[in-house]
Amino acid sequence: MLDRVPVVDLRDFLDARNPDAPDAPDAQARRAAFIAVLGEGLERFGFVAVTGHGIAPELLAQAYQLAEQTFALPESVKRQYETPHDGRQRGFTSFGVEHAKDHPIGDLKEFWHVGRELGAEHALHLSGDVPPNQFPKELPAFQDTFLGLFNALEGFANQLLSAVGVYLGKDEAFFSRLTHDGNSVLRIIHYPSLGEQLPEGAIRAAAHEDINLLTVLPVSTKPGLELLTRDGEWMAVEVPPDTMVCDTGDMMQLLTGRRLPATTHRVVNPRGGGQDGARLSMPFFLHPHPDAMLTPMSGDAAAVRTRDFFHQRLREIGVE
């Protein structure tokens, strides 16, 4: 039985795709072990940590530097990029607006959403299912940096889901067929330093589950992430540097008949309260195509269209 979030190396899965490699037999064994540990970790915790992800550390460093500059912009400037009309799926969301489902107190954070870029005549653009991005003109490097990070994280997430598909008895392309042109989003989050007086019960991110299929989280600038174990205990998610923390969301839970659960997690306030120099994080949320049907593999529940599921959850967390 696993007693902590497992750490796996994606290269153990990818290397086996070359049948002519000198260590091909060993590579196949490493591939099988990777799939088993990945799947068992997601079943046990809903969380895994992945090294060998291929995301350039220079890109992550540049993104965090730009994130700091973005949230340092005047409030009046940031609010020009708010989009309440589309459920705040793109652009800026002010401090305290979003709250966890069934938790009315706003989270102690502000954030910026970056999504997929589609042509002006694309059907999902015209329908509003994939809204246009809002790039701050005050920071010219923002667009290329965060679109680059979006694409890199999406590629990694789809590679990981190839292995998840095999673990579930599907082919490697099972999830990529669902996620093609999906309304995935990169969320750049700023948790400001906290003052001494906070609303009762307010924390940086109250206990919640993610909405989507799979979340990829580069290591944040400060600790604070905790998950709720099956035994009802809060456990800090502590991983090595240069690691991606990955967790499964409500859509995956529905799709797999709860085999891969959406694990409750939170971001706690600094120990002892007060100032901690703020915290930045950049989770990437992988979503299916808006028209994709989430059909439970267990066969014991009705299929749900991704679009309908998504907008219901946006309403529940107070952004639509």
Across the range 76-86, mean pLDDT stands at 95
Treating both helix axes as pointing N-terminal to C-terminal, what angle do 142-167 and 57-71 enclose, rounded to 10 degrees? Answer: 130
What's the pLDDT tens digit per position in 140-172? 999 999 999 999 999 999 999 999 999 999 999
Q: Dig out the tokens for 140 from the structure.
A: 């010219």
The CATH code that applies to domain 47-316 is: 2.60.120.330
H/E run at residue 308 = helix 306-316
Give yes or no for residue 6 having a pLDDT over 70: yes
Mean pLDDT of the chain: 92
CB 59 within 8 A of CB 145: yes
CB 157 within 8 A of CB 216: yes
How buried is 268 (Cβ within 10 angstroms: 0-12 exposed, 13-18 middle, 19+ buried)? middle
Return the pLDDT at 318: 78
Q: Is 273 helix (H, G, I), strand (E, B) or coil?
A: coil
- The C-alpha atoms of residue 188 and residue 113 are separated, in whole angstroms, by 6
Of 36, 304, 316, 306, the C-alpha closest to 178 is: 306
pTM of the predicted structure, to 2 decimals: 0.94
**Domain residue limits, the chain:** 47-316
What's the pLDDT tens digit per position in 84-116? 988 899 999 999 999 888 888 999 999 999 999
Q: Is 235 helix (H, G, I), strand (E, B) or coil?
A: strand
Treating both helix axes as pointing N-terminal to C-terminal, what angle do 24-44 and 142-167 enclose, rounded to 10 degrees? Answer: 100
Across the range 128-147, mean pLDDT stands at 96
Res. 1 pLDDT band, cuts 50 70 90: very low
Give yes or no for residue 82 having a pLDDT over 70: yes
What's the pLDDT tens digit per position in 305-317? 999 999 888 888 8
State the residue for tokens 């000198």. 22
Q: Dig out the tokens for 182 from the structure.
A: 């999906």
| Lowest-confidence segment of 40-44, 266-270, 288-292, 301-305 by average pLDDT | 301-305
What's the pLDDT tens digit per position in 242-258? 999 999 999 999 999 99
Return the pLDDT at 104: 85
Report the largest interatomic distance among the alpha carbons of the chain, rounded to a whole angstrom: 63
CB 93 within 8 A of CB 187: no
Return the pLDDT at 128: 86
Give yes or no for residue 32 having a pLDDT over 60: yes
